[in-house]
Chain A
């Protein structure tokens, strides 16, 4: 009898058990160590926070689990992140043993990544080491020193010792990585390797470090254990003198010849001048690189998952023979239940990774990583973030069906509360719908968030009353029907910032245009260069309207995530959108907007529509109206302080878990 679950039958290639060497792997999914958590001690010890997080990873259902990269040297030249784990001494072993056990207890194969960050390392030292002195293009990283031959030999030995230690801790194999421009990549790439000795020059010489690394690690850990190499299929650094795709392939073949047991194909360096993993890259965009590697190296197992967030697409790729294992990390950060949902044919319940790169933005600020879509990530060790049965069941009304309100509703409902969500609009999603409709990067990513709320509201039985505005009159009618009121109604426009209107001039609300309720004019002035104004101006220009952005502060994009600011500035350049900074709109008429710059110079801009997308303020009026009518009143999301989607989701979940 076929005991497979419905989804396992549908995605039969992805969920097919496979033999790799002496190992029986339960499916073709490899959890990739794409993100270092920054949850650990400054001297490299694994913390309870990390162990709790890793337990969740072990329970994702992936056949192979790669534990996050540990630096192998006592000096920390290989250390890339402030709180990265270390593996240069046996004193670190007990926690690694626990992690290996978690993985095995869940039927997974355990791989430990050894990460010497090279060009991106030396985070505590004030310098980094790399094959040649090539300065940093990102100021976060340390000034370079050239690695000597003696240091090369020592570094290879440290990798081999760390690998041996991982095996001793119970891991089934190890992984070396050139992902994103670490030491291995620095040797392979002519961008950072300008040496004249046997480690530089030709591809053959540049690959010598990798071959020696593979040889010594394999010798140290023995034939019974596996070694994986993450190698670039494309560096995206070729414009700056890096490897071409052909050279990348040549290096992969070299690794195959050196006896590597699996190649995980990656794309891009941290500093590459184009996107590799952001949501402006269409899902599946890089699959060709894995397919090419598989074709050229038919006998080496190939893992791949760069900007490939969808298990259905991964299943199809495996069926086609593009690669052997789906290497997945960020989609499992966003939803650790993704594989279980896929196996049970419940993919519609998935919380999709929207590629906001919040995780990486945080790491670049030396902060622990978090996930926009998964508010529990990083808090697994804290009971306050768990969904547990409520001690007292309450009747809860939530005002606003945007991300904050819906997250709160979902968590509270799962805890046993009675939940009713009210929204004056006729659909779930709040203002996110307007943002999604105008996002040039990937509208479906943002819309997937809205769809998730719609699906989960139905599945969990949350009552959602749409088209109902919560007014004091309604509240008097509802008096005593609810124990708790939660204000998640979003922010309000700051009326004090609005310019004067005259001669038939009208200020149009950005969301009315974004949601398609008001037809935009031909010549549009957008007041406000924050993420709302930028997104709308970009979208309107893309549709053929003429938009000008007027921003009162010195720069635009002040509320945009650090990893996404460049995207807006690039779009502004590409779309040739005029931007006036340090400038205020003082008067709006039916055909123009008058602006004044910091020097007091006045100018009239022709415009048949002026859109107000300027700073917003908290929505305290609703809170004040309710606080003497309901036992408990709370505020969450932009209603409390306008901060955007990540904070809204996190606020909502946190309150839903605790109320």
Chain B
């Protein structure tokens, strides 16, 4: 049996997250170049200020995937961040790279993963996040229930 994402850790599975970004080209096409979406696991976040997060950055040739230092949410190097508990990381990765970021929809809907907006609403709108979120299957303004 191969190494799981949990075994490898968030940062050790960069190739999987790169494939996931590649599979989400159409979703990232909604964003202005330079817009950044982050992914961090609970375990990695607990390492802050020495932690790292996965950052997908929108560009004209599609998204690029890299690791970036994470010292806390106040200075998070992304406009929005998915926070995934360690036990859900494998579920996300196992959904298959072709599912792209869509694999995060289930865990966010069930409340297992969280979606944090770091940039102000105006900046998010200007960068195309309303369309991005809709393409991912979320309502941009969310819900008051």
Contact = CB atoms under 8 A, between A and B. Distances in A.
Q: Do A and B come from one complex?
A: yes
Given A135-B116, A569-B139, A240 B111 contact: yes
Given A133-B74, A134-B73, A555-B134, A139 B111 contact: no
B144 A270 contact: yes
A277 B145 contact: yes
Contacts of B137: 569
A142 B121 CA distance: 8
Interface stretch (A68-76, A488-496, A559-567, A620-628): A559-567
A516 interface: no
Nearest to B112: A239
B118 A566 contact: no
Nearest to B143: A566
Given A133-B74, A272-B145, A276-B145, A139 B140 contact: yes
Contacts of B23: none
A649 B104 CA distance: 40
A11 to B, nearest CB: 29
B145 A274 contact: yes
Contact of A274 (B74, B106, B111, B114): B111
Nearest to A555: B134
Contacts of A144: 73-74
Contact of A139 (B109, B117, B144): B117
B116 A136 contact: yes
B141 interface: yes
Interface in B3-34: none
Contacts of A567: 143
Interface of A is mostly: loop
A143 B139 contact: no
A129 to B, nearest CB: 13
15 contacts: A134-B73, A135-B116, A135-B117, A135-B118, A138-B117, A139-B124, A140-B121, A140-B141, A142-B120, A273-B110, A273-B111, A278-B145, A360-B144, A566-B142, A566-B143
A9 B137 CA distance: 52
A554 B144 CA distance: 24
Interface string A522-556: 00000000000000000000000000000000110
Contacts, number: 81
B59 interface: no
A499 B41 CA distance: 48
Given A126-B120, A555-B134, A133 B73 contact: yes
Contacts of B145: 268, 272, 274-278, 357, 563, 566
A570 B141 contact: no
Nearest to B76: A135
**A-B pairs with lowest CB-CB distance, top 10:** A135-B116, A273-B111, A275-B145, A239-B111, A138-B142, A566-B143, A139-B117, A360-B144, A133-B74, A135-B73
B144 A137 contact: no
Given A142-B120, A573-B109, A133 B142 contact: no
Contact of A240 (B106, B109, B114, B117): B114
Contact of B81 (A135, A275, A357, A573): A135
A566 B73 contact: no
B68 interface: no
A444 interface: no
Nearest to B145: A275
B72 interface: yes
Interface in B83-114: 106, 109-112, 114
Interface string A249-290: 000000000000000000010111111111000000000000
B127 to A, nearest CB: 11
B142 A271 contact: yes
Contact of B117 (A137, A554, A566): A137
B109 A137 contact: no
A385 interface: no
Given A139-B124, A566-B139, A364 B116 contact: no
Interface string A102-144: 0000000000000000000000001000000111111110111
Contacts of B115: 137
A435 to B, nearest CB: 21
Interface of B: 72-74, 76, 81, 106, 109-112, 114-121, 124, 129, 134, 137, 139-145
A143 B118 contact: yes
Interface of A: 126, 133-140, 142-144, 239-240, 268, 270-278, 357, 360-361, 364, 554-555, 562-563, 565-567, 569-570, 573
Given A139-B142, A143-B120, 4 more contacts: A133-B74, A135-B73, A137-B142, A569-B137
A172 B54 CA distance: 55
A565 B138 CA distance: 9
B139 A570 contact: no
Contacts of A239: 111-112
A361 B141 CA distance: 10
Contacts of B143: 563, 565-567
B116 A137 contact: yes
B129 A139 contact: yes
B25 to A, nearest CB: 15
A565 B139 contact: yes
A276 B145 CA distance: 6
Contacts of A268: 145
Contacts of A566: 139, 142-143, 145
Contacts of B76: 135
Contacts of B129: 139
A569 B137 CA distance: 8
Contacts of B74: 133, 144
A270 B145 CA distance: 7
Contacts of A272: 145
A555 B138 CA distance: 11
Nearest to A281: B145
B66 to A, nearest CB: 21
A570 B109 contact: yes
Given A133-B72, A133-B73, A139-B124, A562 B141 contact: yes
Nearest to A359: B144
B59 to A, nearest CB: 23
Contacts of B141: 138-140, 364, 562
B121 A137 contact: no
Contacts of A273: 109-111
A471 B62 CA distance: 59
A558 B76 CA distance: 33
A554 B134 CA distance: 10
B102 to A, nearest CB: 12
A364 B140 CA distance: 12
Contacts of B114: 137, 240
Contacts of A135: 73, 76, 81, 116-118
Contacts of B120: 126, 142-143
Contacts of A142: 120
B63 to A, nearest CB: 20
Nearest to A277: B145
A109 B118 CA distance: 43
A361 B144 CA distance: 8
A90 to B, nearest CB: 33
Contacts of A137: 114-117, 142
Listed residue (A126, A135, A139, A277) with the most chain B CB atoms within 10 angstroms of its CB: A139
Nearest to B105: A573
